[in-house]
Amino acid sequence: MNTAAIYHRPESEYAFLYTADTFRIRLRTCKDDVKKVYLISGDPYTIDSQKWYLEEIPMKKSLSTLVHDYWEVEQTSSTRRLQYGFHIVGIDGTECFYGDQGIFAYESANLAEANYYFRIPYFHEIDRFKVPQWAKETIWYQIFPERFANGDSTNDPAHTLPWGSKAPDRDDFFGGDLQGVIDHLDYLVDLGINGIYFCPIFQAMSNHKYDTIDYLKVDPAFGDERLLKELIEKAHKKGIRIMLDAVFNHIGSDSPQWQDVIKNGEKSIYKDWFHIHSFPVDAYQMTDLPETAANLSYDTFAFTPFMPKLNTANPEVQSYLLDIAAYWVKEFDIDGWRLDVANEVDHHFWKLFHEKVTAIKPDIYILGEIWHSSQAWLQGDEFHAVMNYAFTDSIKDYFVKRKITASQMASGMNHQQMLYQDQVNEGTFNLLDSHDTARILTLCNGNKELMKAVLTFMFLQKGAPCIYYGTEIGLTGEDDPDCRKCMIWEKEQQDTELYGFIKELIYLRKRLSEILITGTIFWELIDDSQDVIHFSRELNGQKIHAIFNQSSTSYLVDQKNEIILSQNSELLNDGKAEIQQFGFILMCE
């Protein structure tokens, strides 16, 4: 037995309170190295009187990666205390005990010794990681406001171009605004959307608004505060939640704070609001950028001189930003904050942020923009979720980019799932494209059947799916800025068949929400040689089977259950179904 691969950590993603009364425990072992695992557990104060160490509970092997297997079990305790260890049986017949003191040969382990066990001193409900239930049930729709719809031409910026008249460049304006969103709320309702994530709407110089000038003012090109309140109220009446984008890592160079630093240098009252290395600072504007900003006298977002980085360790900056976060929740009743460049802001600030906004609205959703593994931010006192790029990148790398095998994809997805508590995975934010990436249809080289397959695969995973505006009608686009094209509203230019498919996919997600949110996933078959994947989701006796065929040859499957969705598949007379390339079949039993 490879004991070096055995791992557990109490009060982490390996041992966590899932509901108020149930505790979930995981153990990691080397892949295909362990035959059985048993949990030995009980109240720490009754080990002598009840001798619970003489009883064992079998654990189930759940997910696996290419190098590890994970075992899980759920426990309850009438005293809300728990002490536990693991009895591990290897494929080679070796047995060991694993607890707080390490790994011992099972025969020689002193199971009656209390200090040998891991311990959960008490099930504290206040410490349990909680994700708003509504967020788990949401189908998100991301809107880049400048490109969704122009509902009011009177607020168009100077030099606004005719809608959709050209492929967008970085500095183009086309006149999209909040009135345009209001005008098309019924369109989103028809599609099945119940959550809108807006890219920034606050006053800024750019079309993307990530260079904030005034956090307390809606950008005049989008409308005003009255119009935003109207939008939110109308959206709420239609069952749609609203999430705004908070850019707190940096501010725009046209902001009054940074302009004061440029004017007054070391005498500026805002000089400690930023990370400045020497004075005077360079007065770059968006229209006057150097070829490289790597040697600037101040820190920025990336190397972007018109986005000076804020010093969020400064109490004045903290107070300023926290008041802004509270204002939009209190006065406008927003439902969530998406936090831009969240991994470059200190953890201390995000803990203050979490405390501030949840005190106002306990079920607000806090989403961090992080593109990599994110355990440090997902401990229950900062974010509820992250934009799950690390998870969905595995999906794209297999289905779209063909860089990895199906086994490698499943391994990468399972690895990400095992980094977090189950409730984190249930509430995370899954996306295939965004304003920062090429559009999924373009990544699929225009192959609509492949696009449908990859969208369906994502919709069947844990986590709330997000559709980038226009995906549903076949909008294309390469990397930024091309992925920020104007939405197409002329029916004759929309892919209405694709719209109908995505509408059906959203309906299916809602219809099967409970099993798709919390159900266990089982990888029934992964055949790298034939490019076929068969997995299932299961909850309380209900089971959904999903079979995807990415190969160039057809694949036959027994069809014994109710078919709930299929593509490129045909029922045969002998009780079988034939799945063609890029095809899939979903069956419910």
Neighbour tally for 292: CB within 10 Å: 9
Query: Is residue 502 a contact partner of residue 467, using CB atoms and an 8 Å limit?
Result: yes
- Distance from first CA to last CA of the chain, Å, rounded? 38
Query: Is residue 153 a contact partner of residue 176, using CB atoms and an 8 Å limit?
Result: no
Query: Is the bond into 145 cis (omega within 30 degrees of 0)?
Result: no
Q: Whose structure tokens read 């509970």?
A: 57
Contacts by 230-234 with C-beta closer than 8 Å and gap 24+? 230/182, 231/178, 231/181, 231/182, 232/332, 232/333, 232/334, 234/182, 234/185
Specify the DSSP class assigned to residue 167. Answer: P
- The sign of the dihedral angle between the CA atoms of 64, 69, 74, 79 is negative
Is residue 480 annotated as a catalytic residue, yes or no? no
Contacts by 231-238 with C-beta closer than 8 Å and gap 24+? 231/178, 231/181, 231/182, 232/332, 232/333, 232/334, 234/182, 234/185, 235/185, 235/196, 236/333, 238/185, 238/186, 238/188, 238/189
Specify the DSSP class assigned to residue 330. Answer: H
Q: Which residues pair with 203 in a beta bridge?
A: 214
Q: Which residues pair with 310 in a beta bridge?
A: 274
Neighbour tally for 533: CB within 10 Å: 24
Quick one: tokens of 389?
């790029």
**Burial class of 114 by CB neighbour count within 10 A (0 to 12, 13 to 18, 19+):** middle
As a dihedral over the C-alpha atoms of residue 123, residue 124, residue 127, residue 131, rounded to 10 degrees, the angle is: 70
Neighbour tally for 125: CB within 10 Å: 12
d(CA 196, CA 211): 21
Quick one: tokens of 150?
């122009």
**Helix, coil or strand: residue 107:** helix
| Catalytic residue chosen out of the listed positions 369, 426, 433, 531 | 369
Is residue 340 annotated as a catalytic residue, yes or no? yes
Nearest to 323 by CA among 282, 356, 284, 291: 356
Name the packing angle between helices 347-360 and 315-332 (round to 10°).
30
Query: Is the bond into 280 cis (omega within 30 degrees of 0)?
Result: yes
Which residue type, as a one-letter code, is found at position 104? F
d(CA 236, CA 131): 20
Nearest to 401 by CA among 332, 346, 454, 352: 454
| Catalytic residue chosen out of the listed positions 137, 219, 340, 426 | 340
- Which residues are part of the catalytic machinery? 340, 369
